[in-house]
Amino acid sequence: MVNMSEVSHQRIKTNGIWMHIAEQGTGPLVLLLHGFPEIWYSWRHQIGYLAKHGYHVVAPDMRGYGDTDSPLSPSSYSLLHLVGDLIDLLDHFGQQQAFVVGHDYGAIVAWHLSLFRPDRVKALVALSAPYFEPSSSIRSIESFRQGFGEGCYVCQFQEPGRAERSFARYDYLTVMKKFLLYNKTDYLVAPPGMELIDYLETPAKLAPWITEEDLQVYAEKFEESGFTGALNYFRTLESYWELMGPWRGKRISVPAKFIVGDKDIGYDALGTGEYVKGDVFKSLVPNLEVVILDGHHFIQQEKPQEVSHEILSFISKFSTE
């Protein structure tokens, strides 16, 4: 049973917004960065575990999520903004460096924090989303459209208001179930003429790793915040290739561990499994360990003990340096 009573909460000013953070423990700083569509609560198993092993654990609601501010303009959700939020967070705690752990889009932010400011990252653990080098020849949205069609979730999320309107046909708890309990390895692509949220199934029963109460925590927060902030992350992708020009060809130098479930979305269908085991990934992240677990996308919740152990065993190597 996860004990949330020892987790404290506060809102701090960071990079021009108010950010909500959950924190526990004392010691070296560990940032836990959630992905879509989640909040700090997705790290409920890891927060207490790492705190009990001598770390100051901070799990923010990322920009646009939960009790953190949600700027209106999609352009306010670039990776430069998201990394900037974390630099200010480190400064708030007076820490030159932190261990950074990210899942899904949180892993993408963690990779880019390590790329932009390796001086601020002691070591990195990324879950589910590997690092890909930005290409100057491939345009983001068009490549998704060509590869998967208009039903691809990235394409459907582009138009402001479209996904919000389709999500609104369901109650918030059902939306959470459709996303968090998705257990297929196929990419998130709806058939022609269908909205993604309509295509996703509502499971008849819950997975053993999550409770109705857990899902309700997410549902209540998204009912308060709406989904626009979370969806705006995907609406900045078109500008990503232009913004990333200065870092093309630069490797990620910090020590890194990548954890993925062998039944994750796209693990086989997109060739993620082959990529993370291959030479290209290791050439981009030379100081890399790869761990493949038996599990799906929300691996830190599905396999909390294994993931917590993998995080601790890795960061503890660098904790005395």
For position 219, which CATH number holds? 3.40.50.1820
Question: Rounded to whole angstroms, how far apart are CA atoms 163 and 141?
Answer: 16
Domain-located, residue 107: yes
**Is 160 contained in some domain?**
yes
Handedness of CA 257, 261, 264, 270 (dihedral sign): positive
Whether 173 is covered by a domain: the verdict is: yes
**For residue 119, how many C-alpha atoms fall within 13 Å in the half-sphere facing its CB?**
3
Residue 45 is among the residues annotated as catalytic for this protein? no
Question: Both ends of the chain: CA-CA distance in Å?
Answer: 33
Query: Among the options 20, 34, 112, 297, which is catalytic?
Result: 297
Task: Give me the residues paired with residue 8 across strands.
Answer: 23
Domain that holds residue 255: 8-318
Q: How far is CA 186 from CA 52, 175, 248, 276, in A?
A: 37, 19, 30, 17
Q: How many domains does the chain have?
A: 1
According to DSSP, the β-strands at 121-127 and 256-261 are: parallel
Q: Is 22 among the domain residues?
A: yes
Q: Taking a C-beta distance cutoff of 8 angstroms, is the pair 291, 262 a contact? A: no
Question: How does pLDDT run along the chain (321 residues), one tens digit per residue?
Answer: 567 889 999 999 999 999 999 999 999 999 999 999 999 999 999 999 999 999 999 999 999 999 999 999 999 999 999 999 999 999 999 999 999 999 999 999 999 999 999 999 999 999 999 999 887 556 678 888 888 889 999 999 999 999 999 999 999 999 999 999 998 888 899 999 999 999 999 999 999 999 999 999 999 999 999 999 999 999 998 888 888 989 988 999 999 999 999 999 989 878 889 999 999 999 999 999 999 999 999 999 999 999 999 999 999 999 775
The pLDDT of residue 136: 59
Q: Decide the pairing of beta strands 17-24 and 56-60.
A: antiparallel
Domain presence at residue 2: no
Cα(156)–Cα(271) distance, integer angstroms: 22
Q: Are 49 and 123 in contact (CB under 8 A)?
A: no
Residue 221: inside a domain, yes or no?
A: yes
Question: Catalytic residue among 61, 69, 104, 264, which?
Answer: 104
CB 310 within 8 A of CB 125: yes
Q: Is residue 1 part of a domain?
A: no
Note whether residue 312 is domain-resident.
Answer: yes
**What is the per-residue pLDDT for 238?**
85
Catalytic residue status for 297:
yes
CA 214 to chain centre: 18
